[in-house]
A and B are shown apart, each in its own frame.
Chain A
C-alpha cells in the first residue's frame, strides 16, 4: 500500500521561479500546487516559500500578500515551512542592502548581508557541510554540489536573542555551512522551519534528494 503524497503549497507572492519549484517538489513525490490563497497555504502539509531578487522587495511583497502571517501561524502550530534562496533570507530578522535595512520575518535572529568575495553573485554549484544528524541532507554524499545564485547571505549565526515565541526555542538548530569568499549559512533545520540558500529545485539529482528528504519530514 502506498502512502498518500504529502500536500505542498508553493507560495505565490510574486517572487521566484514558481514553475520550477512546483515541478521539483512534484517530482520528489508531493501533491503540490502554486497558490497565493491563505487557506490552502495554512492547511498544506508543507509550505515552500521561494524568492529571488532583493531582500527588501521580497520581504515587502511577502507581507503585502499576508505570507509573513501564514508563515508565523504555521510555525507556531508546528507546521513545516521550507524557505528557498531569498525565501530563506526573509525568515531572518533583517536584510541589509546598500546601507538600507529591511525587516524580515524574524523566525531566526541574524542579519542577511553582502558576502565578501572576489566574484559576486555567488553563482553556480558549490559543496556544503551539513552537520551530524541532518535530516535534509541524509543520504546525500559529501561531494554533492548544489546550485547557488546570491550576493547576500547570513554570515554568522546569532545563538541567543531568539525572538519571543520563536519556534524550536531551546533546541539547537542544525546549520549547514558553505564557503564563497567566506563561510555563510547554506541551510537551516529548526523543527518545522527549514531553509536553503541554494536552489534545490535547480540542483539536479542532489536537489531532488534533498526535497524528497523534506517531504519525508513533513509526512
Chain B
C-alpha cells in the first residue's frame, strides 16, 4: 500500500461494508459474486461439430458458427471450440470458424486442439479466440505454458487436463498419489503423470485456468467427477472448468459445490437434451450466481 490512508478512499460506504451490502442487486438477479459460467463445447472436425462417447464414435451435430450463435442467444457465458482433427487442414478450418464466430458473437471464446507452440496460440488469438487451451504439447514441454503466458498473459492460457483414475494394472507404472493420471490421445493413453500435481504445476507455470476433463465420466451422463474436481480445486487457485459426465440439471450445481467455477458440456446441448437456460435455472435454484439474459432469464 502506498500513500497516507487519508488520501485514499474505498467504494461508497464504509470499507468494511462492501457496496453489495448497501443495496445489492435485486434478489431475482441471483446470488452475488462472479457467475458460474455455463460453457457449451463445440468439438470441430472438418468444419462440422461432432461429439462422440468417450471421444470416439463421432456423430455430426451441425455447423459450428450457427451453433455458436444459437448458444449465444440462449445465454451461454462462453464458448469452447476444440479442433479434434488437429491436422493442418483442421487448424485452417478452426481459424475460419473462430473468425466468423468472433464477428457475430460477443462473449469469450476459447480454442484448443493440437496447439503445439507460441505460433499456434498467436494465430488462434488473432483469429478471435480470447483464450487458448493447451494439452499434449504442454505435457511434453511444460515450459511452453510459461512462454505463452509471458507473451500473451496468463488470462489467455488454459491448460486442458484429460484425467482418469489410475487403473489397477497401471498402478505399478504410474506414480500418482492423487489416484488420477493425465492421459493423452483422447483418454486412450496414460502418461504416468499425476493429474492433480500437473494441474498445480501448470497453474504455477502461468496457466490462468484449468479445463478439467474426466475421461472416466465423459459420455456417461452419470454426473461430473466430483472427487477429481475436489482434488484439483484444493491444489490450485485459478478457475477450474468441470468437463465430462453432465447428464441432468442437478449435475451442474454439484460440480460447483465440489469447487468448479464453470461447467462445460457438449452433446447434452448439441442434441437438445438440455438448454442453457435449464442449466442456469437449476444453478439459480441451488442458490448459485448465474448470468441471466433476455432469452435465458426470468
Binding site for B on A (CB under 8 A): 17, 19-20, 23-24, 27, 52-54, 57, 111, 118-127, 129, 131, 142-143, 145, 147-151, 156-161, 175, 177, 179-180, 182-183, 199, 201-205, 207-208
**A199-B153 Cα distance, complex, nearest whole Å:** 15
Cβ–Cβ contact A129 & B293, under 8 A: no
Cβ–Cβ contact B106 & A123, under 8 A: no
Closest B residue to A28 by beta carbon equals: B106
Asked whether A129 and B19 contact (CB < 8 A) given A175-B11, A183-B10, A202-B106, the answer is yes
Cβ–Cβ contact A123 & B11, under 8 A: no
**A126-B32 Cα distance, complex, nearest whole Å:** 8
Q: Can you list 26 A-B contacts (CB < 8 A)? A: A19-B127, A23-B106, A27-B106, A52-B156, A53-B155, A119-B239, A120-B238, A122-B34, A123-B239, A125-B77, A126-B35, A129-B19, A143-B29, A151-B155, A156-B9, A157-B10, A158-B9, A159-B7, A159-B8, A159-B9, A177-B11, A177-B12, A183-B11, A202-B106, A204-B72, A204-B293
Task: Return chain B residues, CB-CB under 8 Å to A177.
Answer: 11-12, 19
From the candidates B19, B20, B126, B209, name the one contacting A123 in the complex (CB within 8 A). Answer: B209
Task: Return chain A residues, CB-CB under 8 Å to B269.
Answer: none
Closest A residue to B25 by beta carbon equals: A143
Task: Return chain A residues, CB-CB under 8 Å to B3.
Answer: 158, 161
Q: What's the minimum C-beta distance from A210 to chain B, rounded to whole angstroms?
A: 11
Cβ–Cβ contact B239 & A121, under 8 A: yes
**A112-B123 Cα distance, complex, nearest whole Å:** 30
Task: Return chain B residues, CB-CB under 8 Å to A120.
Answer: 237-238
Cβ–Cβ contact A143 & B28, under 8 A: yes
